[in-house]
A = this chain, B = another copy of it.
Amino acid sequence: MTRATLKDVAAHAGVSHQTVSNVLNGHPSIRPTTRERVLSSISALDYHPNQAAKALREARVTTLCFASFEHDPDTLSDPYRNLIQAALTAEANAQGYSLATAFLAHDEASLDELRQRYLQRSIGGAVIIGTRLQAAQWERMTSWGMNVVLLDHFLPGTPHTVSADYASGMRALVAHHVARGRRDLALVLPTRDYGSTALMRRDSFFAAAKAHGVRARHIDGDWSYASGERALLELHASGDLPDALLGGNDRMATGALSAAHGLGLSVPGDLAISGFDDFDFVQYLHPKLTTVRVPHAEMAREAARLLIALTSGEDCVTPPPYPVSLIVRDSA
């Protein structure tokens, strides 16, 4: 079955093909009777405009790209990416765009692939997640002329970023631990990713601990379960256990909790443990995890809106950080 074209519709309705085009694009000054006739021909022939032709003629790209890092532990092990993809897709579709996918690595090849897709007009811009994005990569992308919105990741000089208010989340978390009598806090967080939101969290952590007059230290991690587990094992081996361990995300907190069980530590008796994200599974851990909820989906929708606005040539302001909320359960 060969699909109907604009001309077929025109012939069927007994008008010229531009008239059909005008009807389709809601142009004014079309006689209602003509419009009716055209519309009924359209549905009679089950006509659907060819996107490729439209895109070619209008020199417009209607596909956006969601790029994340393939080997980033965040990318594949958390519901995180799913939530974001769903929200981005919904917002993009609602605005007449479709959403393509890309997984980046830290080699030239993957950046080059993205570049190809942009220059070939397969994609019009990208939303990127992943604290592994380096400033140099970001610069490369924008140097092609591509619009890029960063989700949940700051980089020096990146104007279009959607993020959450990690600072106040961290302050609330520290206050909570202190209110429960904790006096020796350890934060597990990656810091090799300079410029990322991790630094903001770390700084707020130290500032808040200082304000409360409690001890604070930082242990390096890499967002993975294993690094959370390792962090607690090392603290234990050092003989200088804190009384609260703050995971920089839910996964590291989960890993630490697992290590605590292995060491025979009672949580929260011997040690309080908290997370950051609030993914589904953390309320099924034992004990149920106290954490900070980050509104990933709303942030993603905003990122899509921002990208579309940029792509349409509007000038945009980065939205303020999204509020987060402390979710108190049993682990801290």
Chain A residues within 8 Å of B, Cβ to Cβ: 1, 3, 46, 48-53, 55-56, 61, 63, 66, 70, 75-79, 81-83, 85-86, 89-90, 93, 98-103, 113, 116-117, 119-123, 145, 225, 229, 251, 254-255, 257-258, 261, 279-281, 283-286, 288
CB-CB < 8 A to A279: which residues of B?
77
A254: which of B3, B66, B116, B284 is its contact (CB, 8 Å)? B284
Shortest beta-carbon distance, A70 to chain B, in Å? 7
Q: Is the pair A119, B75 in contact by a Cβ cutoff of 8 Å?
A: no
Chain A contact surface mostly:
helix
**Can you list 8 A-B contacts with CB-CB less than 8 angstroms, sorted by A residue number?**
A52-B55, A56-B56, A63-B63, A77-B279, A77-B281, A81-B82, A258-B284, A258-B288
CB-CB < 8 A to A229: which residues of B?
284
CB-CB < 8 A to A89: which residues of B?
101-103
Q: Is the pair A77, B286 in contact by a Cβ cutoff of 8 Å?
A: no
Shortest beta-carbon distance, A221 to chain B, in Å? 14
Q: Is the pair B83, A76 in contact by a Cβ cutoff of 8 Å?
A: yes
Shortest beta-carbon distance, A111 to chain B, in Å? 14
Cα–Cα distance between A116 and B169 once the two chains are bound (Å): 43
CB-CB < 8 A to A116: which residues of B?
48
Q: Is the pair B100, A99 in contact by a Cβ cutoff of 8 Å?
A: yes
Q: Is the pair A101, B99 in contact by a Cβ cutoff of 8 Å?
A: yes
Q: Which chain B residue lies CB-closest to A88?
A: B101
Most B-side CB within 10 Å, residue of A61, A81, A123: A81
CB-CB < 8 A to A90: which residues of B?
103
Q: Which chain B residue lies CB-closest to A85?
A: B101
